[in-house]
Amino acid sequence: MFQVLLVDDHAHLVDSLVKSIPWESLGISQVHTAYSGPAALEVLDTYPVDILVTDIRMPGLSGLELIRRVMQARKRIKCIVMSGYADFEYARQALQFDTVDYILKPAEDEEIVASLRKATELIHREWEEISSRQRALTALRENFPKLRDGLLGELLTGGAMSPSALAQRLGSLELAFAAEDEVRLVLLRPDETFFAYSRHDLGLMEYAIGNIAEEIFRDGYEAWFCKDAHGYLVFLVKEKKSPGGEADAQASEPPRRQRALEREASEIQSGVKAYLHGTVSVLISGRGTFPRDVPALYQASLAMIRQRFGQEGEFLISAEAFGEAPRVDGLTGLHDTPTLVQLLEAGRWEMLADKLEAVFLSIGRLDRSFSQEHIMEVVFALGSALISICHKNGKRLEDVIGEPFGALLQPSQLRNVEQLRDWSARAIDLVRTDDIAGKQGETAAYFVRRAQEYVEQNLAGDTSLQAVADHVCLHPVYLSRLYKSETGEGLSGYVLRLKMEKAEKLLTEGNKKVHEIAELLGYDNPPYFIKVFKKHAGWTPKEYREQLHR
């Protein structure tokens, strides 16, 4: 599903289009509006817009200048120009920017729909090429991506390499990274929708996801990715410099840079859902220096996913939303993929249970003279994995699981597979329900609570979705989805309800005038406040107060 931005300094024209065009039939799920060029840039900074429809002549920032800026930063956006001026020079300039269409106002809805359909078909064709199975299969057969994948995998796990050797390998693989570059990691986790694929087909889909992400990152970032031991696609990214060699001062402001990367991540999620019919979760790490900080950023990202999100699907989160990175310490895994440690680190509890069950069944088929040693082998392997995961979270396994810890000291007390199965389930469940996994359930409530606290304290100020999202350090799209999932109520609905409840209280308990109450609740236009209140309560504020005194 696509997102469209309509821009015109005549607000009534924009609002009319929002109501008259059959957006859903065009595959358009969200329509954004802006009444000036600067306001349009704010929307483009925040949302993954696919199609821009703009007037040409606007005060401050013209439509052509807006398109020029968009084409410099996000070349994939399709632009449609609408203008009341039948001027060849405007049309010529618009065509230079590779606009999809040039429409003269006033235009019939059918003409606008035809242009929008043309734009969506162009986008479909482009993404079909980017994510095509044939392109993915070709990439799998090439050695170059495998060599890049392997080098990044070494860096993620702390592989030792001299600066000169690393520089030589980066150059030979044509990777645009160098020592002291500021970098981030972006972890993409394919969610349950991809679990049904065979190993071969899953590999193709992972390459398709990687191609989509690389295409989206292409304009603003140097991106290098690999698949890690947990099945995540890990991107190392750094911002590209402007043609003159310097980053744009405004674009480099930390909040703007953060929002831009979150917007790109949201666009990746939209692309995967639209063209691969699946979902991915995304975590954006904090900033670090290449290559020194890469292993720490990676381990911190894994810990955050494990501790705070587990198997939650389709999340989009930045590590900077939390005040402190998770503590990461301890050993790395010792077994082939997927090891018990790797499954625990990734919070893949069901996969861990399936893996152990397969082990239990295989022990049952063995000669009895060997079964006791195999039981001991499982106890030591699982115990080692549980100790590792607890230590990485600053805890002792004995403190977490209590009495079952004794089996690690005397494994002979487990005499058969059934006792082993019961012990394993108890130990894993105790670790899972400890703070390690408990933080997962707290995370959504944490953001909901922070959002509600901000709204409660700022009823007279800016309580827009963007303002609340900025306060809690989440992308507005993800905050909106998270809030609705947790509370069953949209964030805008909560804000309205809170304001109306406050209005009722002020009307009941005091003698403030209606315009004073409107101002206290952030309404600059008292007549609009009266209209909203009547829709909520069934009476105007004056009628409501009169009813109370009858």
Q: How far, in Å, CA of 329 to CA of 296, rounded?
A: 10
CATH class of 438-548: mainly alpha
The domain locations on the chain are 2-130, 142-321, 340-433, 438-548
pLDDT digits 0-9 by tens, 69-127: 988 888 889 999 888 766 656 666 766 777 888 888 888 889 999 999 999 999 988 88
CATH entry, 2-130, from 1.10.10.10, 1.10.1060.10, 3.40.50.2300, 3.30.450.20: 3.40.50.2300
Model confidence over 451-461: pLDDT tens digits? 999 999 999 88
Beta strands, E only, 177-319: 182-190, 221-227, 233-239, 280-284, 288-289, 316-318
2: left (phi over 0), alpha (psi -120 to 50) or beta: beta
pLDDT digit of tens for each residue in the chain (550 aa)? 799 999 999 888 898 899 889 999 999 989 999 999 999 999 998 899 999 999 888 888 888 889 989 888 888 899 998 887 666 566 667 667 778 888 888 888 899 999 999 999 999 888 887 766 656 656 545 667 788 888 998 898 877 678 999 999 898 888 999 999 999 999 999 988 888 888 888 888 988 999 999 999 988 899 999 998 888 999 999 998 765 555 544 445 667 777 889 999 999 999 999 999 999 999 999 899 999 899 889 988 888 887 777 667 788 888 877 755 444 333 233 344 568 888 888 878 888 888 888 888 777 665 554 566 778 888 888 999 999 888 888 888 998 888 888 888 888 778 788 888 899 999 998 888 775 545 555 677 888 989 999 999 999 888 988 899 989 888 888 888 889 988 999 998 999 999 999 999 999 888 889 999 999 998 888 998 999 999 888 999 998 888 877 6
Write out the CATH class of domain 142-321.
alpha beta
CA distance 82 to 206: 40
- Reported pTM: 0.55
In angstroms and rounded to an integer, the radius of gyration of the C-alpha atoms of the chain is 28
In the block, residue with structure tokens 């972890």: 187
* Nearest residue to 107 via CA among 217, 20, 197: 20
